[in-house]
């Protein structure tokens, strides 16, 4: 018997996860912190993980915002670039000492032209996110409801019964800009300010880890190891229903005849 489409897709995804080849993420490999919850979910016959991130700090320069049809948000694909990315909380402190490009500090910008076209340097902490493809809407709904019950309020069910598990633990602040005239990277915050937001980020790493553990435990209890109560009632086939209805009709007819006779 051939596999259905979901089983084929799951088999293909699991083979990719187990392979040694790099994936399409900037890191190129699965985050170690995601492995336990991925294994748990993938052990369920109706679910398979498709993408994941355990949470990360990133610092990047926005891309070009000037286009022929006006201003747009400067994405990394428009000439933007990563300055620093890490999923490891131990790399958060002193990250600015590890970047390869020279940066100047200028907290007294004076008449610097900062406007809607400025390409900012953004400091972002983004929390855990996991996408899970489910066999059907019923299994997707169960996973979604489980995630919502432990605070993953940003979660949702998309097309093809793919559930995005997300939690709102974020930090997103501009800390500098690129001087288009010189190509120079400029921080308009102090070193002390960067130290402060680094400590805030470490707190978010801790909170994020706790939420991941809570989600793991809820999925394990409510989905993976949960057993549906067995029903004593047998499902009636069409033929069985036809026979039962015929017997009931004959019994009613017989009962009516006996009542007339009395």
According to the model, what pLDDT value does residue 66 have?
A: 67
Q: Map residue 26 onto helix, strand or coil.
A: coil
pLDDT tens, 103-151?
Answer: 999 888 765 667 778 899 999 999 999 999 999 999 999 999 999 999 9
Indicate the burial class of 178 (C-beta count within 10 angstroms; 0-12, 13-18, 19 or more): buried
pTM over 0.95: no
Q: What is the mean pLDDT of residues 249-260?
A: 58
Angle ∠(241,244,249) on CA atoms, nearest 5: 125
Indicate the burial class of 119 (C-beta count within 10 angstroms; 0-12, 13-18, 19 or more): buried
> What confidence category does residue 6 fall into, taking pLDDT thresholds of 50, 70 and 90?
very high
Q: Which helix (H) or strand (E) holds 243?
A: helix 238-261
Q: Measured between alpha carbons, how far is 30 from 21 in angstroms, rounded to an integer? A: 11
Q: Measured between alpha carbons, how far is 65 from 145 in angstroms, rounded to an integer? A: 39
pLDDT tens, 201-242?
Answer: 999 999 999 999 999 999 999 999 876 554 444 455 666 566
Cα-Cα end-to-end distance for the chain: 62
Q: What six digits make up the tokens of 212?
A: 């991941």
Helix 35-42 crosses helix 191-219 at what angle (to 10 degrees)?
20
According to the model, what pLDDT value does residue 79 have?
A: 73
Quickly count: other Cβ atoms within 10 Å of residue 158's Cβ.
Answer: 11
Q: What six digits make up the tokens of 171?
A: 């930090």
* Contact between residue 96 and residue 103 where contact means Cβ atoms under 8 Å apart: yes
According to the model, what pLDDT value does residue 204 have?
A: 97
**Partners of 124 in the beta sheet?**
58, 172
DSSP state of 97: G
> What confidence category does residue 168 fall into, taking pLDDT thresholds of 50, 70 and 90?
very high
Q: What is the mean pLDDT of residues 16-37?
A: 72
Indicate the burial class of 62 (C-beta count within 10 angstroms; 0-12, 13-18, 19 or more): buried
Could you give all domains of the chain from N- to C-terminal order, each with its CATH number? 5-224 (3.30.1960.10)
Look up tokens 């002390």; give the residue.
192
Look up tokens 């001087």; give the residue.
179
pLDDT tens, 57-100?
Answer: 999 999 877 655 545 555 555 678 899 999 999 999 999 999 98
Q: What six digits make up the tokens of 197?
A: 């937001």
């Amino acid at each position: 018997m051939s596999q259905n489409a979901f089983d084929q897709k799951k088999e293909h995804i699991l083979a990719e996860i187990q392979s040694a080849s790099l994936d399409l993420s900037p890191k190129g490999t699965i985050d170690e912190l995601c492995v336990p919850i991925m294994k748990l979910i993938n052990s369920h016959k109706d679910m398979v993980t498709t993408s994941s991130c355990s949470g990360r700090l990133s610092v990047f320069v926005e891309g070009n915002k000037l286009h022929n049809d006006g201003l747009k948000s400067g994405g990394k694909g428009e000439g933007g670039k990563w300055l620093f990315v890490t999923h490891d909380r131990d790399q958060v402190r002193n990250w600015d000492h590890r970047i390869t490009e020279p940066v100047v500090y200028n907290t007294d910008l004076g008449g610097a032209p900062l406007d809607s076209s400025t390409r900012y340097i953004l400091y972002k902490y983004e929390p855990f996110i996991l996408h899970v493809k489910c066999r059907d809407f019923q299994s997707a709904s169960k996973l979604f409801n489980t995630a919502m019950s432990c605070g993953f309020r940003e979660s949702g069910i998309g097309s093809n019964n793919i559930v995005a598990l997300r939690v709102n633990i974020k930090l997103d602040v501009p800390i500098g800009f690129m001087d288009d005239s010189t190509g120079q990277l400029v921080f308009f915050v102090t070193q002390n300010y960067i130290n402060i937001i680094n400590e805030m980020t470490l707190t978010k790493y801790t909170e994020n880890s706790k939420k991941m553990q809570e989600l793991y435990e809820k999925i394990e209890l409510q989905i993976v190891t949960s057993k549906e109560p067995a029903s004593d009632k047998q499902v009636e086939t069409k033929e069985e229903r036809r026979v039962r209805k015929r017997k009931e009709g004959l019994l009613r007819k017989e009962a009516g005849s006996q009542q007339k006779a009395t």
